[in-house]
């Protein structure tokens, strides 16, 4: 048994009577050997290689018609030129099937194939035959694969083969920046993100307001709004598309906060009032978030008096002498606390002129 790298000596002998110092001729596959070292009746190969394999014979010069029978030099070697291939080729689609094939040049033939999946820090064996099939392939099976071929002489591994699985967009999400409260007059950006291979080539934004049908906004991954107003409030969602399909995100509510506005005061009962009557002043205001504090004032001449403050919009008074004047309320929420101009603009006043209300 000869393996690659061994030293091999072939000897030619004859039973014929020959003159002194005969010259021997060596043949490989019926062709004269000129590239090997031949001494007398010996042919020495110091490090045999696969190129040296073949059928050898010899003859005495001048008697070439009486050449020897051939002897086959079978050079064994470990696997080499090992390669991994995928069938069908190209980028598989999620849910399809693919077969990986390992091929190698070896003598004797490969008797053991092992498939590995290469992870970040190590490799994991996944198959033990020349062909390794991935059926109903999922994205978790994407990655780098290689095979190792082994015979009795040695083993050899292939280069890595990348399995790049393609799939339609999924896990499509909407994110809002900055996060937290969105106040009227500020700026906000909504971003659509999606897991897809190949990457998403088209993003579409939609808005739905007050139970109405969805309205197309724009086609871009991000949608930025400067100087946000209440008109921008609503449910937002996006759709992500690539060549394999589309995916829609859940809706995200864009809630625009604003300080109290259109604040007004009302009086119940209205009409003629008499001393001793009980009246209720009510403060109403449009605000988001809702008003959490109401404050009532009475102005008499140049003096303004605080009548009360609290979470309830109502102020009940029993009419007694000296209560005539101008009454107004202020409505506060957490946005309004940051904007004194808005607070000062929310007054509506009544005058109690002996016991009769009138608009100013």
pLDDT of residue 340: 30
Does the pTM surpass 0.85? The reply is: no
Please, are residues 145 and 116 in contact by the beta-carbon 8 Å criterion?
yes
Superfamily of domain 259-359: Immunoglobulins (2.60.40.10)
State how far the Cα of 323 lies from the Cα of 355, in Å rounded to an integer: 8
Which residues of the chain, if any, have pLDDT below 50? 338-360
Residues sharing a CB contact under 8 Å with residue 213, sequence separation 6 or more, in sequence order: none
Quick one: pLDDT at residue 64?
Answer: 84
- pLDDT computed for residue 27 by the predictor: 92
Burial of 210 (0-12, 13-18, 19+ CB in 10 A): exposed
> Percentages helix, strand, coil for the chain, rounded to the nearest 5?
5, 55, 40
On whether the 2-73 domain is CATH 3.30.70.360, my answer is: no
Assess contact for 98 and 164: CB atoms under 8 A: no
Q: Residue for token digits 């300080």?
A: 259
Q: Measuring CA to CA, which residue among 164, 133, 131 is closest to residue 147?
A: 131
pLDDT for the residue numbered 36: 66
| Fold of domain 170-254 | Immunoglobulin-like (2.60.40)
The CATH architecture that domain 78-165 belongs to is Sandwich (2.60)
CA distances from 16 to 42, 59, 290 (A): 17, 11, 122
pLDDT given for residue 263 in this prediction: 87
With residue 71 as reference, give the H or E element that holds it.
strand 71-73
Q: Please provide residue 46's backbone torsions phi and psi, each rounded to the nearest 5 degrees.
A: -70, -40
- What's phi and psi for 285, nearest 5 deg? -160, 150
Q: Are 78-165 and 259-359 equal in CATH topology? A: yes
Rounded alpha-carbon distances, angstroms, from residue 286 to 260, 263, 268, 283: 5, 7, 20, 11
Q: What is the pLDDT of residues 81-103, one digit of tens each?
A: 999 999 998 889 999 999 999 99
The Cα–Cα gap between 120 and 110 comes to 29
Q: What is the dihedral of CA 118, 124, 130, 134, to 10 degrees?
A: -80
Domain residue limits, the chain: 2-73, 78-165, 170-254, 259-359
So what's the pLDDT on residue 337? 59
């Amino acid at each position: 048994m000869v393996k690659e790298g061994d030293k091999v000596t072939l000897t030619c002998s004859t039973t014929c009577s020959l003159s002194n110092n005969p010259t021997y001729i060596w043949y490989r596959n019926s062709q004269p050997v000129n590239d090997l070292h031949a001494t007398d009746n010996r042919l020495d190969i110091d490090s045999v290689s696969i190129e040296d394999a073949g059928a050898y014979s010899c003859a005495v010069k001048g008697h070439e018609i009486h050449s020897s029978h051939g002897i086959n030099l079978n050079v064994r070697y470990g696997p080499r030129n090992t390669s991994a291939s995928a069938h069908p080729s190209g980028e598989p689609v999620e849910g399809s099937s693919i077969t990986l094939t390992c091929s190698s040049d070896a003598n004797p033939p490969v008797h053991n194939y092992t498939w590995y999946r290469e992870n970040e820090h190590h490799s994991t064996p996944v198959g033990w035959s020349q062909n390794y099939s991935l059926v109903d392939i999922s994205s978790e099976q994407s990655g780098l694969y290689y095979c190792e071929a082994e015979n009795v002489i040695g083993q050899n591994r292939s280069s890595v083969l990348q399995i790049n699985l393609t799939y339609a967009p999924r896990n499509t999400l909407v994110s809002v920046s900055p996060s937290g409260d969105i106040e009227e007059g500020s700026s906000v950006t909504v971003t659509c993100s999606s897991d897809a291979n190949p990457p998403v080539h088209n993003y579409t934004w939609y808005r739905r307001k007050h139970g109405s049908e969805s309205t197309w906004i724009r086609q871009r991954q991000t949608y930025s709004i400067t100087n946000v107003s209440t008109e921008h409030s609503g449910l937002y969602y996006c759709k992500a598309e690539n060549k394999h399909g589309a995916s829609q995100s859940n809706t995200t509510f864009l809630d625009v906060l604003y300080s109290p506005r259109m604040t007004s005061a009302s009086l119940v009962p209205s009409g003629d009032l008499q001393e001793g009557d009980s009246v209720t002043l009510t403060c109403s205001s449009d605000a988001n978030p809702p008003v959490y504090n109401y404050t009532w004032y009475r102005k008499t001449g140049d003096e303004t008096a605080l009548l009360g403050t609290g979470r309830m919009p109502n102020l009940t008074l029993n009419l007694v002498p000296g209560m005539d004047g101008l009454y107004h309320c202020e409505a506060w929420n957490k946005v309004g606390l940051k904007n004194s101009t808005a607070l000062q603009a929310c007054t509506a006043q009544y005058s109690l002129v002996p016991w009769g209300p009138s608009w100013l």
